[in-house]
Amino acid sequence: MTNDTGENKENVKKTDTSRKTKTICIAAAVIVVATVGLAFALGAFEGITDPQEVPDNEEVVATVNGETVSRVEFEQALEQEKMQYQMQGIDLDSEEMSEMLSELENHVLNNYFVIPILLEKRAEAAGINISEDEIEDRYQDYVAQLGGEEQLEEQMAAVDLSRDDLDQDISRELTITKYIEQYLEDYYEENPDEKVDEASIDLSDDEIEEQYQQLLNHYNNLQEMLEEDDPDMPREQLEAQLTQIEDNYGEMLEEDNFEDIKPILREEMLERRIAQETQAKEQQILTDHFEELREESDIEINY
């Protein structure tokens, strides 16, 4: 059961928040916080952090089944999110944006802290373990994202984050991701009729023909723009798009042959539609599961 109160529990778990603050920084730098595993791809939550001990003089903004979230780590995560809005020219500190800021605060508290804590506990109870090879593979993903190990190490050094610390956070990330994948697999085993497949997609011939006309128009426009040779147009990008279309559809577009290209477009559109509807369904499945976990848990919000 969730219980919101302005008073901190006297017996909350005490932890150190210094590493967590560093972890949030490095995670943002390598796009870890925003894009971790299946759940993040689905948009179910935006990131994970590692709850640490909160010193006696540190303000606690939330307690989740005994795990505490300090004001420092919460503010750090909030600033990372606010930066994304600021890059789009949105000032969340303005008076007219006060309501959006309140929503963002709730979003950060739940998606950076409450939900990951609940999921990690469930993963531990399910006996989910992460191997050293899996951790190393994810580390190499980060290296690739930043353009090399030297660049990653520079980011880590900037926030005084050790390799052991990062490995620990990677392990948490993968643990939660693996739990979500397992939960979805179990869910579909129990509810096979809810799995999105070709039979559940209603794709009409009119939709396929509309897609064909859009593709044909785009193909013709690309050719015209390349013939004009406008120096202000990104020629390399135009050529790359045209080449991709020609590789996929060959002479069928040049001959304006809808019947030949129709089965190809149908298959492509079905794949996209299945992916889109699967994502939407799994988003809802996970959202419902997160809400169940919240209802079963002892959660106090103190801000």
pLDDT tens per residue, range 159-180: 788 899 889 888 988 999 899 9
> 100: helix, coil or strand?
helix
Do 208 and 151 lie in one domain? The reply is: no
**Confidence (pLDDT) at 50:** 57
CB 8 within 8 A of CB 302: yes
Do 224 and 149 lie in one domain? The reply is: no
Task: Tell me the C-alpha distance between 262 and 23, whole Å.
Answer: 50
The closest alpha carbon to 111, from 170, 36, 169, belongs to 36
Task: Tell me the C-alpha distance between 35 and 213, whole Å.
Answer: 34
Do 104 and 52 lie in one domain? The reply is: yes
Sign of CA dihedral 22, 26, 31, 35: negative
Residue-range definition of the domain harbouring residue 245: 198-291
**Confidence (pLDDT) at 84:** 82
Looking at the chain, list the stretches that DSSP marks H as alpha helix, in order from N- to C-terminal side. Answer: 18-29, 37-41, 71-86, 98-108, 115-125, 132-146, 149-158, 163-190, 205-228, 235-249, 251-254, 258-296
The 10s digit of each residue's pLDDT in 231-243 is: 888 889 999 999 9
Do 232 and 106 lie in one domain? The reply is: no
Task: State which amino acid sits at residue 301.
Answer: I
Do 180 and 251 lie in one domain? The reply is: no
The angle subtended at Cα 9 by Cα 108 and Cα 173, nearest 5°, is: 35
> Domains in the chain: how many in total?
2
User: Does residue 209 lie in a domain region?
Assistant: yes
User: Does residue 253 lie in a domain region?
Assistant: yes
Could you give the strand order of the β-sheet that contains 299-301, starting from the edge strand earlier in sequence? 67-70, 60-64, 299-301
DSSP assignment letter at 97: G
Do 117 and 173 lie in one domain? The reply is: yes
Residues recorded for the chain: 303
**Confidence (pLDDT) at 91:** 82
Do 189 and 222 lie in one domain? The reply is: no
Do 211 and 185 lie in one domain? The reply is: no
- Residues of the chain falling short of pLDDT 50: 1-47
User: Does residue 12 lie in a domain region?
Assistant: no
> 197: helix, coil or strand?
coil
Bridge partners of 156?
A: none
**Confidence (pLDDT) at 52:** 54
**Confidence (pLDDT) at 55:** 54
Do 210 and 161 lie in one domain? The reply is: no
User: Does residue 271 lie in a domain region?
Assistant: yes
Do 29 and 54 lie in one domain? The reply is: yes
Task: Tell me the C-alpha distance between 21 and 27, whole Å.
Answer: 10
User: Does residue 4 lie in a domain region?
Assistant: no
First to last CA, the chain: 18
Task: Tell me the C-alpha distance between 62 and 298, whole Å.
Answer: 10
Q: What is the CATH number of the domain that holds 186?
A: 1.10.4030.10
Do 87 and 158 lie in one domain? The reply is: yes
Do 159 and 81 lie in one domain? The reply is: yes
